[in-house]
Structure 1
Amino acid sequence: MADIVVRIYSKSGRSRITLPVSSTLSSLKEQISTHLLVPSEKIILTYESGKRVQGTGSSKLKDLQIVNGTILNLQSEAQIPIMESGPPSGPMPLPELAPQLSTEEHEKETKEQHIRKCTHGPGTRCINCFAQEKPSEDKKKTEDNTWLCRHGPEAKCVNCLKDNFVAGIKHDSYDHFMAARMAKCQHQGDSKCANCLPPAEANYKIKECTKHAPWPASICNSCMPTTAVLARQPYRHVDYVELMNVRDVTELVRYWQQNHSMEQRGGFMYGYYAHDPNYPDGVRAVLEAIYEPMQYGDTNGFQFLDDPMSIYADMIAENLNLEKIGWIFTSINHDAFLSSYEIRQAARYQQEFFAVHPSGYKVSKFVTVVLKPTDDGNAMPEAYMVSDQAQALERDKVFGEPESRRRLVKRKPNDKELLPTIMCENKPAEEFQPEWFIVSLGCGMPKKSLLFLEHSDFPVWNRAKVPTKLDIKQYLQKYRNEPTYKKFSNFHLLIAIAHIVDIDSACEIALCVQHQKEVPRNIIDILNS
């Protein structure tokens, strides 16, 4: 084997480093520094067991038990939180004697940085550009801010890499948004101000109050629901959706087009999150596989049916070290980016799948991908999320059932309920456009596929043709010359094994695929019997 792949896990996500089998520890650290923008002299690597990787820069990787498929955890001696999650997105706090921008200059510079005109990364083939937008005026040349850099000679940050970031972004990455706010802080490091704190979590329910009898007997300013002022969200929790598994997307489109796109279809996307170097502190969602639950579809949409066996997909994904990153579906409607029904469903999924950010703020990275037909007979994917405000309004049951897919409405409360006032453009509103809540993401396919799951050519479960054990045997015969962990590197195959054989065998095979170990012979004999 000429090259090996080493998997690096860090706080910003997962990365794969490809390098010659004869490489040294020093060359591995240089590759990590290049990919993750962490100074090589500050890199600390540990094995899965937690034990630190020991050795000098000239130590051979094979002598350190670092072989093809090895997983290493990345830590850093640098105590700079932004450096741990990617390139710094703004001026770092400087010593008192260092020159600093005035508040007005910084706000002007930050505003100009955020006016960009493109949503795709330069290293990918974009299929979600908004070509109808008019190009913005030529920007003024920004001054050289390399003197603001706080890192070593081998690292880069936003001050020395501005021109390499994607332009025209409508929403900043959340970490970059917070860093730009914190750069305005004027106090000591042990103090806090409004700029240091994350956005307040919205709550549109009646608050508990001990000053009087509960509603509907009485109400006061302290306990009445917070007014919802509609505003477009300036940040996003995912910047780019990379459709790494192009074949799964293509097969979904092909199956959809067999009925002339008259029966809409959807599925859940499994993959992982990684740092995206094309955006300041960017986050990329990488698609590895699609699972299509039991569902019913017609011209206007689809509905997932009760599918108790869908938990198999979650279990297999967990053993592959993948997670549910979003949902994907087809649509023939071009009258809206997302309909009112789709926004509400996306809000429910985002509320279900969330994590706590280091700042203490609850964030969701569950993305929505829509496949829409184009004039030339193909399909164009568009990636979105809904705002945190939409997520909170749906969670607190403020939205009602709309009559139109182009409008969202406030629910009619009963006599014992009190819903918040919704302000739209400085006026109370009972219905409003979905665009207030849409957060657009970049979306595209890689120039070079780096799929963890190497195969996708197996019949998809829950379609018209149900896979059988004969299909499994024929598939294994097709790839008989490959190592077992590689031939079983197929999500749809593992789903079929879970249903036809048993879930325990499927999960054991998935673990072998993840760690690139040979599948036990007794399981293969069962499949071939």
Structure 2
Amino acid sequence: MLLRVRSKEGTVRITVEGNDTFKDIAEKTAAALGLSETSNMAFGKVPSPKEALPLSQLSQQTVNSAGLSHGDMIHLSFMETPHLHTSNEAVSDQQTTTDTNPGPTTEYVEIDALKNIQQDAVDDLLEKQDGLIKRGRDSEIVSDNLDVNSCRHGPNAMCDYCMPLEPYDATYLEENKIKHMSFHAYLKQLSAAQQSKAASSTITKQLPPLEEQNYKVRVPCSGGHAPWPEGICTKCQPSAITLQSQPYRLVDHIEFSSASLIDNFIHYWRATGCQRFGYLYGRYEPYTEVPLGIKAVVEAIYEPPQEDHMDGLALSLPWQEEDSINEVAAQCGLQKVGMIFTDLLDDGTGKGTVVTKRHVDSYILSSLECAFAAEMQRLHPNKSRYSPTGKFGSKFVTCVITGDDQGGIGVNGYQVSNTMVAMQEAGIVEPSMKPSVMLVKEGIPHQRYVPEVFYKYKNKYGVPVQEPAKPTFPVEYLLVNVTNGFPHNPSPTFNSAVPFGIENRQGLESQSLGLFSQRLSSCNSARDYLTSLSDFHLLCFIRSSGTLSAEEFNALCKSIVQRDEQSFSQVQHSNGWKTLEMVSRESEPATNQAASASMSRTTSTTSDVATPGTSGSVEVTCRHCTFANPARNSSCEMCGLPLD
């Protein structure tokens, strides 16, 4: 009988007898494919290595006992060879055989130790999934015959037109307008290519498939010369860089847990006309709209100390309370997942619309913002056991709130490529005065080595052209787009109906023990307390008061996140909580101005996010200076000009 064997090496047909074993099948397949090794083979009925059984378990099973019949197809995959300890020299030697200019050395982790690296939970979950894209049976009928592109088999069989697709299938990604495949789909693609290469190779040790980019000069060098900067050769200098769109992204979607997150953040600009910056705190979860996708679920925005202006802002990094805020987030099951900032300017029409600054004919992210995003991604690396260094890329995202093409306010999400992060770390590039282009630094003998940088584009005739980046190149080569939105059925972690004063908003909102005491005065039950305290900014304020011990604060956060009334009742009976309540009651009540400012934010509806720039009946934005005035005013409190 005839069997078809499909693998990454191609599909072959072999002739077998009913009493032939899988060992015979493997040998005939190896001969047909020109392979010298069969011990790493695995066979299955579906194209998934996870479902395949190794040849060692099938070697004595016959064709008849496996239920195979004439014309059936079986799928061949190749098992990974055992990982071995690999030293820096072994890695360098392998690189030298494949690349005459391998670039600088990297601090490698022993490959066996990579198994113990603490990845994000979402990575551990996704790496166990095959990510195959299921397809239904195509039974389209043309006249009396099945169409050439349709299935010609029964409901229990499978063919090329209905078999599942790999998560990195180029046609599927293009048809579904997925510009960047997910990170784990990219890993599957690399792993498949590596297995295919290993099957036809005599190499017995296999390195993890990821390699971080590094454009620094290699120190030390085996070229026999003085180390950099005294000497340099082709072995230690980094190779030329050819910029291209990154085919994958580590985060596929940004989900804001509720519309009020964005509305409360924009409120600062509406009230002052100044820009604002915040850190995104949330968690990573699978994103089912993309094969093996990951989404960053944002639960809170924390605004660090900053100096705000109408045309920008200034930050001090690192900021003093950063570790404390990160601890609060960790106790709530959250982590820092990105940053967000506004770039808004009222267009002066009085219609609540804003100026459209960022578009394809100007810029999307400025070169300065790209450099900042690269630095933040470098400071927040993604841990991965598939990289020799134990880390690869970053899941840190950047969001910009700016005017869309309709004059409304929209949120755009991005990352910068790993190439940009590596160039930033090597000191190769710097922002330019023109926001749409990045500047390549000039090399300085014996001080700074800058490799050649190229970028490709299609000219007006549609012909690909490679251009040297002397001295600039467009920032669009550095950007990775990330979609964003809100959940269909919101269920935010923090659900307080009345927001607590947001930190570092001097002159607009305040935080005090007196306001905290007023907030608790209306609570009559444990459920009331849990609802009232369910605010990230409030938890950060309680943490900063220092009245609760670490154990008491951890228990408080756990009870609020889990909405556990019994656990909160235990917190109420703790010494720390009793002290906090007593100190709060004895504090002088703050003015109602900050409280009313917080209350005014609750009057905004989710429609403000869809058509922002207005303040409803609560405030009137001055068309001259954009200052937000009370509705009763006839002239602006900031510039003195009439509001009508």
Cα displacement (A) at 1:159: 11
After superposition, the C-alpha distances for 1:244-276 in whole angstroms (9 at most, x for unaligned) are 13212111112112234xx21110010000011
CA contact (8 A) 2:242 2:454 kept: yes
Cα displacement (A) at 1:503: 6.8
Trace 1:135-214 onto structure 2 (pairs within 5 A): 146-148=162-164, 167-184=176-193, 185-186=195-196, 187-188=198-199, 198-208=209-219, 209-210=221-222, 211-214=224-227
Per the alignment, residue 615 of structure 2 pairs with none
Cα displacement (A) at 1:189: 11
Q: Is 1:350–2:377 an aligned residue pair?
A: yes
CA contact (8 A) 2:278 2:339 kept: yes
Match for residue 489 of structure 1 among 503, 517, 534: 534
Per the alignment, residue 314 of structure 1 pairs with 326
Q: Secondary structure at the match of 1:446?
A: coil
Q: Is 1:427–2:467 an aligned residue pair?
A: yes
Q: Secondary structure at the match of 1:329?
A: strand
Q: Is 1:362–2:392 an aligned residue pair?
A: yes
Give ranges in structure 1 of 5+ residues lacking alignment.
Answer: 1-38, 40-80, 93-142, 150-156
Supply the distance in 2 between the matched residues of 1:222 and 1:343 (Cα, whole angstroms).
Answer: 30
After superposition, the C-alpha distances for 1:91-143 in whole angstroms (9 at most, x for unaligned) are 89xxxxxxxxxxxxxxxxxxxxxxxxxxxxxxxxxxxxxxxxxxxxxxxxxx8
Q: Secondary structure at the match of 2:321?
A: helix
Number of residue pairs the alignment of both structures matches:
391
Match for residue 289 of structure 2 among 272, 278, 283: 278
Cα distance change of structure 1 residues 402 and 167 upon mapping to structure 2, 3 Å threshold: same
Cα displacement (A) at 1:391: 0.8
Cα distance change of structure 1 residues 192 and 528 upon mapping to structure 2, 3 Å threshold: farther
Cα distance change of structure 1 residues 449 and 407 upon mapping to structure 2, 3 Å threshold: same
Cα displacement (A) at 1:486: 4.4
Match for residue 572 of structure 2 among 520, 524, 527: 520
CA contact (8 A) 1:90 1:180 kept: no
Aligned residue identity for 1:329: F
Supply the distance in 2 between the matched residues of 1:382 and 1:433 (Cα, whole angstroms).
Answer: 19
Per the alignment, residue 384 of structure 1 pairs with 414
CA contact (8 A) 1:87 1:277 kept: no
CA contact (8 A) 1:272 1:286 kept: yes
Match for residue 337 of structure 2 among 322, 325, 330: 325
Per the alignment, residue 434 of structure 2 pairs with 404
Aligned residue identity for 2:578: D
Q: Secondary structure at the match of 1:495?
A: helix
Per the alignment, residue 466 of structure 1 pairs with 510
Match for residue 249 of structure 2 among 236, 255, 279: 236
CA contact (8 A) 2:126 2:292 kept: no
Supply the distance in 1 between the matched residues of 2:230 and 2:128 (Cα, whole angstroms).
Answer: 53
Cα displacement (A) at 1:311: 2.6
After TM superposition, the structure 1 stretch with the greater mean CA deviation from structure 2, 194-203 or 177-186, is 194-203
Aligned Cα RMSD in Å? 3.5
Q: Is 1:394–2:441 an aligned residue pair?
A: no
Trace 1:32-71 onto structure 2 (pairs within 5 A): none
Q: Is 1:441–2:482 an aligned residue pair?
A: yes
Per the alignment, residue 544 of structure 2 pairs with 499
Cα displacement (A) at 1:337: 1.3
Cα displacement (A) at 1:144: 5.9
Match for residue 224 of structure 1 among 204, 216, 237: 237
After superposition, the C-alpha distances for 1:373-410 in whole angstroms (9 at most, x for unaligned) are 34776421011000000111111111124222222111
Supply the distance in 1 between the matched residues of 2:505 and 2:189 (Cα, whole angstroms).
Answer: 48
Supply the distance in 2 between the matched residues of 1:329 and 1:366 (Cα, whole angstroms).
Answer: 14
Cα distance change of structure 1 residues 401 and 373 upon mapping to structure 2, 3 Å threshold: closer
Match for residue 475 of structure 1 among 519, 540, 546: 519
Trace 1:234-313 onto structure 2 (pairs within 5 A): 234-260=247-273, 263-305=274-316, 307-313=319-325
Supply the distance in 1 between the matched residues of 2:190 and 2:477 (Cα, whole angstroms).
Answer: 23
Q: Secondary structure at the match of 1:258?
A: helix
CA contact (8 A) 2:572 2:578 kept: no
Cα displacement (A) at 1:497: 1.5
Per the alignment, residue 26 of structure 2 pairs with none
Supply the distance in 1 between the matched residues of 2:178 and 2:207 (Cα, whole angstroms).
Answer: 23
Q: Secondary structure at the match of 1:442?
A: strand
TM-score under structure 2 normalisation? 0.55
After superposition, the C-alpha distances for 1:149-177 in whole angstroms (9 at most, x for unaligned) are 9xxxxxxx9699x9999921110001112
CA contact (8 A) 2:210 2:392 kept: no
Identity between Structure 1 and Structure 2 (%): 25
Cα distance change of structure 1 residues 525 and 284 upon mapping to structure 2, 3 Å threshold: same
After superposition, the C-alpha distances for 1:493-523 in whole angstroms (9 at most, x for unaligned) are 1122223444746445224334532133234
Supply the distance in 2 between the matched residues of 1:288 and 1:190 (Cα, whole angstroms).
Answer: 49
Supply the distance in 1 between the matched residues of 2:179 and 2:125 (Cα, whole angstroms).
Answer: 24
CA contact (8 A) 2:126 2:184 kept: no
Q: Secondary structure at the match of 1:308?
A: coil
Cα displacement (A) at 1:359: 1.3
Cα distance change of structure 1 residues 458 and 144 upon mapping to structure 2, 3 Å threshold: farther
Supply the distance in 2 between the matched residues of 1:480 and 1:472 (Cα, whole angstroms).
Answer: 15
Supply the distance in 1 between the matched residues of 2:247 and 2:544 (Cα, whole angstroms).
Answer: 44
Aligned residue identity for 2:525: N
Cα displacement (A) at 1:145: 5.2
CA contact (8 A) 1:166 1:279 kept: no
Trace 1:82-161 onto structure 2 (pairs within 5 A): 84-85=126-127, 88-90=130-132, 146-148=162-164
Q: Secondary structure at the match of 1:364?
A: coil
Larger-Rg structure: 2
Cα displacement (A) at 1:194: 13
